[in-house]
A and B are shown apart, each in its own frame.
Chain A
Amino acid sequence: MSRQIRLVVFALSAAAFFVFFVAAARGLPGFGTSHHPYGARAIHAAVAARATANTVSSVNFDQRAFDTLGEEFILFASVIGAVVLLRAEPEEAADSGESPRWRAPRVLAATRLFGYLMLPVTLLVGSYVVLHGQLSPGGGFQGGVVLGSAVHLLYLTGDYAALRAARPMDGYEIAESLGAGTFVLVGLVGLLGGAAFATNMLPYGTLRGLGSGGIVPLLNVAVGVAVGCGMVVLLAQFFRQDLELRVRGARGSAR
């Protein structure tokens, strides 16, 4: 297809899209109305009926937990995909010992200090976000991303060897699978009891209490562990491909 034909096709499609888009946008309710039929019912179900202060977490992990199951396994499958794509080819071999590529030569002292100081702070903040998902904005996924990136502050301080020491790969892979599996098992318990998937069978507790919401804190922790460990495993494949594997017989990497 020549460039001219492509431009003509684009112009026609864009015109048609514009017409339908404007027509659809004009049928929407006005911006910022106070009429939210689903929102009102969701808030009532979360706060009044299920004692969960964070309505979004209640919808994610309690009222529509089946959708979250799909999202959780999207992440799981993409981590598996990255592991498969970045596996060691037959012509690549891992470096046997510590290689000089593992220490970045030009890291500022301030960056190092910042990395070492912020590591415990970030771990604490990530755990806080995961555990308080049913009370304040946040939850399993957000806290999991914070936890996963906390570990990589070690890499930012320029010390890949420290990151490897803090990251036993088997442990993280097992933890990620356990997190994802816990989600499925908690959901299946409801099914086995004759009710729907992920029926909330734990006591709801008091509103704004730490253990409120029934299965919401449990699923928050499961998702937080799965997401955090999944991120570490995912990024580890990139690091391994770049810093550890090298083509057999090549005299040093192409830098």
Chain B
Amino acid sequence: MTPLLVAAMLLTCVGAAAVVLVRSPRRQAIVLGIYGLILSVLFVLLGAPDVAMSQLGVGSVLVPLMVLLSLRTTAHTPTRSTSRAERAQPTDDEGRPG
């Protein structure tokens, strides 16, 4: 249990708490990217470089990208249940009208 490992684990806890405590999904996507980077550093310190590369690719690139794309897609796409009048109104980033 080297000090470096303890520091990396503490940083992981802080990063995880940060991801949960940021409420807006758009900002969570960016914090998720940083958290993915912290996790991959932890994996390298534990001696698992393959897992760290996978984590970097998936957690820091793919997941934030897909979260942001899903937010855009669901913000603009009207559902069948919304009325015509509601559909004509522009929605903001969180999907609320206005």
A residues neighboring B (CB under 8 Å): 31-32, 54, 56-57, 86, 129, 137-139, 141-142, 145-146, 149, 152, 231, 235, 238-239, 241-242, 247, 250, 253-255
**A86 neighbours in B (Cβ, 8 Å):** 73
Q: B61, A149: Cβ atoms under 8 Å?
A: yes
| Cβ contact within 8 Å between A149 and B62 | yes
Residue with the highest number of chain B CB atoms closer than 10 Å, among A129, A139, A142, A238: A142
Contact B62 A145 (CB under 8 A): yes
Chain A residues within an 8 Å CB radius of B77: 241
User: What is the CA–CA distance of A142 and B66 in the complex, to the nearest angstrom?
Assistant: 17
CB distance from A192 to the nearest CB of B (A): 30
Please state if B53 and A138 are interface contacts (CB–CB under 8 Å).
yes
> Which residue in B61, B76, B87, B89 is a CB contact (below 8 Å) of A145?
B61
Q: Give the Cβ gap from B28 to chain A, nearest Cβ, in Å.
A: 18
CB distance from B70 to the nearest CB of A (A): 7
* Given pairs A57-B50, A238-B73, A254-B90, 7 additional interface contacts (CB within 8 A): A146-B57, A152-B65, A235-B65, A242-B69, A247-B78, A254-B76, A254-B91
Pick the contact of A139: B50, B65, B70, B90 (CB < 8 A).
Answer: B50
Interface size of B in residues (CB-CB distance below 8 Å): 24
**Which chain B positions have C-beta within 8 A of A31?**
1
Of A32, A56, A241, A254, which one neighbours B87 at CB under 8 angstroms? A254
Q: Is B24 an interface residue (CB 8 A)?
A: no
Q: How far is the CB of A121 from chain B (nearest CB, A)?
A: 15
A254–B89 CB distance below 8 A? yes
Rounded to whole angstroms, the CA-CA distance of A31 and B9 in the bound complex is: 14
Residues of B within 8 A of A139 (CB): 50
Residues of A within 8 A of B65 (CB): 149, 152, 235
The 11 sampled A-B contact pairs (Cβ below 8 Å) are A137-B52, A139-B50, A142-B53, A145-B61, A152-B65, A241-B77, A242-B73, A247-B87, A254-B87, A254-B89, A254-B91
Residues of A within 8 A of B73 (CB): 86, 238, 241-242
Q: Which residue of A lies closest to B70 (CB)?
A: A238
* In the complex, chain A residues whose CB is within 8 Å of the CB of B91: 254
Give, as a whole number of angstroms, the nearest-CB distance from B98 to chain A.
12
In the complex, chain B residues 44-70 whose Cβ is within 8 Å of any chain A Cβ = 49-50, 52-54, 57-58, 61-62, 65-66, 69-70
Q: How far is the CA of A160 from the CA of B11 in the complex (A)?
A: 37
Instruction: Contact check, A137 vs B50: say whether CB atoms are below 8 A apart.
Output: yes
Given contacts A238-B73, A241-B77, contact A142 B1 (CB under 8 A): no
Residues of A close to B49: CB separation below 8 A: 137
Interface residues of B in 68-88 (CB under 8 A from A): 69-70, 72-73, 76-78, 87-88
